[in-house]
C-alpha cells in the first residue's frame, strides 16, 4: 500500500491520503474481507464461501445451514465455517432458538472474534489499522438501536461456544458497533444485488465526501480458471475517479448524489453519525437542478406550481414503490404514466422525482417487453443523470449500460452502441477491466459495433441478424425489476 498513508484529517478524525500522483482508474488498494457472511434472507440462495448466486446449492451436512456451490467451495470455506458450524448446530438445538441460526450480525461478529482469537488479537494482514482503533459510535446510537444491540449481544452469548476464548461484554459490543457503522455490502458477482455483509478494515479508514475522488467496488475474483495460479480472491478495490495529487485526502461517497443536500446530510447523520461539510454540501451544489422547474420559451414555471407537482410526485413515488414491491407491474406503469403526465410540463428534466419515474418506467416497460417506450424513458433518465453525476460515477455507468442495452434491444443500434461505449469507458475505471460487468460490456461493445457496421451497409440484413442475436444475449437485463440495485455502499440501513 505505497500509494496511500493514514493521516489526521481536519474535522474528520483519521483518514487516508495519497502519497503520490494517481490517475483515473488507478487502484489505490485492494483487500479481501477480514470476515463476511451471507444475509439471513438469502442463506439458502447464495454460496456461503464464494457469495455467488446458484440455483442448486449443497447443504452442510453438520449444521444444515451453510450452503455451497460444490465440494470445492465447501472446503475453501471450511476454515471460516469450522467453529461456526458446531456453534450454529448447538444454537438451534434447544429452547427459543430451536431450528434457527443466529442473525447475520451475530454470525459476522463471531467470525471476526474467532479470527482475532486465532491470530492473537491482531488483524495480521492489515497494515493500516487495528480493530480497537475503529470507531463503534455506540454512544451516538438512538434508543431503538441500543435495544437491538442488547438483544444481539444476548444472543451472541448464547451462540458463542463455552470452549472458545471468553470475552468481555464491552469487547463484544465494540465489534457490533463497528459492524453497525462499517459493515460493507457484499454484492453478487455482477454487482447487481446485495447478498451479504463483510468487514474490510482498511476501507473503514476512507472518509466520506458527497463528490468523492474515489469509488469502491467489490470484485469476486476468478475461481473458474483451470490453472489455480490464475485464481484470485474476492476483494474490494478502491479506484481513483480522476487525478489525485500527492497529499490529497482520498474519499468515497457513502450516499447517492441523486439526493438533495438536506437529504444526504440527514442520511449521513442518521446512519454514520456525522455532519457533512463537504464543498457540495456547503454550496448546495446542483440542488437547484434536482428540485427545479421547467423553463418554457425562456419563462420559468411559477415556483408554487413546481412545489405542488413535487409534493404530488413524492406521494406517487411511494405508491409506485409499494406496487413494485408487490410485483404489480401494470399498476406501476399506470402510476408512472399518470405522474409523468403531470411532471412533464412543470418539472426540469433534471428533477430527481421525474428521474426516478423515468428510471422505473424504463426498467418495468423493458421487463414487460414494451421496448421502444422503455428506450425513450431510459434516454431521458441518462440525459438527466449526465447533468447531475460526476462523469465517472459508477451509478451513471450502470444506468448508461442499461439504457444502451434497451436501445439495442429496440433496434436503435446507433444510440445503443454509443451508450454502451460510454458505459464501458466509465466502468473500466470504476469497476476495472476484469470485473464481470465490464467484460459483459466489452462483449456487447464488439457485438453492437459489428451490428452498426452491418446496419450502415445493409439495413435489411442487419434486421434479420439482430433477431437471431437477441435470442442469445450475452447478459440478461430482463431480470425481474423487483430487486433494488445496490445504491448504498455500506449496509447501515433500517430493516
Binding site for Zn ion (CB under 5 A): 47, 49-50, 60, 62-63, 66, 69, 73, 85, 210, 276, 278, 281
Cα separation, 161 vs 184, whole angstroms: 26
Kindly state the smallest distance separating residue 193's Cβ from Zn ion, in Å: 16
**In contact, 74 and 60? CB cutoff 8 Å:** yes
Q: Which long-range contacts (CB under 8 A, 24 or more apart) does 276-285 make?
A: 276/208, 276/210, 277/11, 278/208, 278/209, 278/210, 278/211, 279/211, 280/209, 280/210, 280/211, 281/210, 284/260, 285/211, 285/261
Kindly state the smallest distance separating residue 84's Cβ from Zn ion, in Å: 7
Kindly state the smallest distance separating residue 144's Cβ from Zn ion, in Å: 26
Residue with cell 442473525: 103
Nearer to Zn ion, 60 or 382 (CB): 60
Nearer to Zn ion, 208 or 356 (CB): 208
Pairing assessment for the beta strands 207-208 and 251-252 based on DSSP bridges: parallel
Cα separation, 213 vs 243, whole angstroms: 8
Nearer to Zn ion, 241 or 339 (CB): 241
Nearer to Zn ion, 176 or 257 (CB): 257
431 grid coordinates: 469497476
Kindly state the smallest distance separating residue 492's Cβ from Zn ion, in Å: 17
Segments in 251-302 forming alpha helices (H) = 261-272, 279-282, 287-290
Kindly state the smallest distance separating residue 63's Cβ from Zn ion, in Å: 3
Please classify residue 450 by burial: count the beta carbons closer than 10 Å to its beta carbon, then call 0-12 exposed, 13-18 middle and 19+ buried.
Answer: middle
Kindly state the smallest distance separating residue 55's Cβ from Zn ion, in Å: 12
Cα separation, 340 vs 334, whole angstroms: 10
Kindly state the smallest distance separating residue 69's Cβ from Zn ion, in Å: 3
Nearer to Zn ion, 260 or 475 (CB): 260
Cα separation, 303 vs 195, whole angstroms: 43
The 8-class DSSP code of residue 22 comes to B
CA–CA distances in Å: residue 314 to residues 84, 153, 157, 270, 422: 45, 39, 44, 21, 31
Q: What are phi and psi of 282, to 5 degrees?
A: -60, -40
Nearer to Zn ion, 284 or 456 (CB): 284
Nearer to Zn ion, 49 or 438 (CB): 49
Nearer to Zn ion, 263 or 344 (CB): 263
The SS3 assignment for 43 reads coil
Nearer to Zn ion, 189 or 406 (CB): 189
Q: Which of 72, 110, 76, 75 lies closest to 91 in space, CA to CA?
A: 110
The SS3 assignment for 268 reads helix
Kindly state the smallest distance separating residue 264's Cβ from Zn ion, in Å: 6
Q: Which of 37, 444, 3 lies closest to 202 in space, CA to CA?
A: 3
Kindly state the smallest distance separating residue 390's Cβ from Zn ion, in Å: 13
Nearer to Zn ion, 218 or 323 (CB): 218
The SS3 assignment for 68 reads strand
Cross-strand partners of 118: none
Kindly state the smallest distance separating residue 65's Cβ from Zn ion, in Å: 6
Residue with cell 447443504: 59
**In contact, 427 and 401? CB cutoff 8 Å:** yes
Amino acid at each position: 500500500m505505497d500509494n496511500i498513508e493514514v493521516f489526521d484529517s481536519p474535522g474528520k478524525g483519521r483518514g487516508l491520503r495519497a502519497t503520490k500522483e494517481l490517475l483515473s482508474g488507478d487502484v489505490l488498494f485492494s483487500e479481501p474481507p477480514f470476515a463476511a457472511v451471507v444475509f439471513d434472507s438469502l442463506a439458502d440462495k447464495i454460496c456461503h464461501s464464494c457469495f455467488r448466486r446458484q440455483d442448486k446449492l449443497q447443504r452442510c451436512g453438520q449444521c444444515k445451514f451453510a450452503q455451497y456451490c460444490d465440494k470445492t467451495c465447501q472446503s475453501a470455506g471450511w476454515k471460516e465455517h469450522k467453529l461456526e458450524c458446531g456453534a450454529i448446530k448447538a444454537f438451534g438445538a434447544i429452547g427459543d432458538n430451536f431450528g434457527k441460526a443466529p442473525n447475520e450480525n451475530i454470525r459476522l461478529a463471531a467470525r471476526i472474534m474467532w479470527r482475532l482469537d486465532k491470530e492473537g488479537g491482531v488483524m495480521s494482514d492489515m497494515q493500516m489499522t487495528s480493530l480497537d482503533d475503529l470507531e463503534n459510535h455506540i454512544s451516538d446510537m438512538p434508543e431503538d438501536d441500543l435495544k437491538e444491540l442488547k438483544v444481539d449481544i444476548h444472543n451472541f452469548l448464547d451462540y458463542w461456544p463455552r470452549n472458545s476464548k471468553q470475552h468481555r461484554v464491552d469487547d463484544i459490543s465494540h465489534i457490533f458497533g463497528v459492524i453497525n457503522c462499517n459493515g460493507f455490502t457484499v454484492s453478487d458477482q455482477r454487482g447487481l444485488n446485495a447478498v451479504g455483509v463483510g468487514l474490510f478494515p482498511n476501507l473503514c479508514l476512507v472518509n466520506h465526501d458527497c463528490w468523492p475522488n474515489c469509488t469502491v467496488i467489490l470484485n469476486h475474483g476468478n475461481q473458474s480458471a483451470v490453472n489455480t495460479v490464475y485464481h484470485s480472491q474476492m476483494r474490494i478495490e478502491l479506484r481513483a475517479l480522476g487525478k489525485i495529487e500527492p497529499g490529497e485526502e482520498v474519499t468515497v461517497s457513502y450516499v447517492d448524489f441523486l439526493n438533495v443536500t438536506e437529504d444526504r446530510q440527514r442520511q449521513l447523520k442518521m446512519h454514520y453519525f456525522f455532519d457533512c461539510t463537504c464543498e457540495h454540501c456547503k454550496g448546495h451544489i446542483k440542488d437547484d437542478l434536482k428540485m427545479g422547474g421547467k423553463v418554457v420559451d425562456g419563462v420559468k414555471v411559477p415556483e408554487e406550481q413546481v412545489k405542488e407537482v413535487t409534493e404530488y410526485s413524492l406521494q406517487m413515488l411511494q405508491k409506485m414503490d409499494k406496487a413494485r414491491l408487490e410485483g404489480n407491474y401494470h399498476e406501476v406503469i399506470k402510476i408512472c404514466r399518470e405522474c409523468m403526465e403531470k411532471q412533464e410540463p412543470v418539472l426540469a428534466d433534471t428533477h430527481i422525482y421525474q428521474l426516478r419515474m423515468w428510471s422505473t418506467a424504463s426498467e418495468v416497460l423493458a421487463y414487460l417487453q414494451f421496448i421502444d417506450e422503455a428506450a425513450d424513458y431510459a434516454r431521458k433518465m441518462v440525459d438527466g443523470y449526465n447533468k447531475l453525476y460526476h462523469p465517472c460515477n459508477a451509478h451513471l455507468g450502470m444506468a448508461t449500460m442499461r439504457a444502451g442495452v434497451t436501445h439495442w434491444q429496440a433496434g436503435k443500434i446507433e444510440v445503443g452502441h454509443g451508450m454502451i461505449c460510454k458505459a464501458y469507458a466509465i466502468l473500466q475505471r470504476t469497476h476495472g477491466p476484469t470485473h464481470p460487468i465490464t467484460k459483459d460490456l466489452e462483449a456487447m461493445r464488439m457485438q453492437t459495433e459489428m451490428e452498426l457496421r452491418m446496419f450502415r451497409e445493409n439495413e435489411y440484413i442487419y434486421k434479420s441478424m439482430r433477431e437471431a442475436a437477441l435470442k442469445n444475449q450475452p447478459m440478461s437485463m430482463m431480470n425481474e425489476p423487483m430487486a433494488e440495485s445496490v445504491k448504498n455502499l455500506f449496509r447501515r440501513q433500517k430493516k
